[in-house]
Amino acid sequence: MSDPVPTDTANTGWTPPAYADPTRFTEQAVTVGTGPFAVPGTVSLPARRTPAPAVVLLGGGGPFDRDGTAGPNKPLKDLAWGLAGRGIAVLRFDKPTFAHPEFAAASDLTMTGEYVPYAVDAVEQLADRPEVDADRVFLLGHSMGGKVAPRVAASVPTVAGLVIMAGDTEPMHHAAVRVVTYLAGTVPDQVPASAVETIARQAALVDGPDLTPQTPAGDLPFGLPAPYWLELRDFDPVEEAAALDQPMLIVQGGRDYQVTVADDLARWRSGLADRSGVDFAVFEADDHMFFSGTGPSLPDDYLLPQHVDPEVVDHVADWIDRAQPR
């Protein structure tokens, strides 16, 4: 499911969360990937812990920068700074769909192409750094980044473990119908009833026998090309996760209307029930971005200046410190 619409990284008004202490880490610029579609990134290195465990951050669906910038908020930067202050190295990078508009517009775009080569390179870069414990490089994926994390781990078996935050398991085109229906009922001034009919028609095309690589992107959800949907409709992140042997932490916000306890977390729990080394954590007050609040979560909430729940940052950091790579 696509996340809140990303915005330009400049002049967002972001200020560091109270739990981020920039005196406890340094940052360096890096390049992730190779060739004309390489992307810029940032590595955050703890000042007082060497070699440190490390994580690669994988952002959600959409053309996001390395910080996950949406309005005044930068949730991935919150996570990076919070974890680095806790002694965990972090590498985050711009998605190629953000850094290269021509990449985003390609007719053969797929989820795997959008994420996996970059994530694999980021893991390998961290493992090669003397400041990092090469045996303790983890993946942390949010939303679609969490969905694809098991495929990344299968592609680079040296990954020590996975943190999946609001990772969707319901087929994305089905989730889109559910989310648009929810929005049409809660913010009808922003999402008219006709939008439900449109997304339902597009989702039916994804499910049907007439979807081919040549199906126009304009006929499909979010304007993503047919190869994207041909891959996604057959992709089961829970099945791929169950085939791995690394430890996993599945984190969910209780107020999340995009990736939900009932529709997505239940699938993680069921599909990984027979696997050891899987932990779950639900933060009842948190929405899809892990911003805390009360009442039903609404799209405009994402544009209010706020930060990732400090309890989430602490829980993830503690889990990484405790996790025992296989």
Q: What residues act catalytically?
A: 143, 256, 288
Q: CB neighbours (10 Å) of residue 209?
A: 5
Q: How many residues does the chain have?
A: 326
Read off the tokens for 151. Answer: 């495929």
23-24-28-34 Cα dihedral, nearest 10 degrees = -150
Q: Spell out the SS3 assignment of the chain.
A: CECCCCCCCCCCCCCCCCCCCHHHEEEEEEEECCHHHCEEEEEEEECCCCCEEEEEEECCECCCCCCCCECCECHHHHHHHHHHHCCCEEEEECCHHHHCHHHHCCCCCCHHHHHHHHHHHHHHHHHHCCCEEEEEEEEEEECHHHHHHHHHHHHCCCCCCEEEECCCCCCHHHHHHHHHHHHHHHCCCCCCHHHHHHHHHHHHHHHCCCCCCCCCHHHCHHHCCHHHHHHHCCCCHHHHHHCCCCCEEEEEECCCCCCCHHHHHHHHHHHCCCCCCEEEEEECCECCCCCECCCCCCHHHHHCCCCCCHHHHHHHHHHHHHCCCC
Read off the tokens for 68. Answer: 């996950």
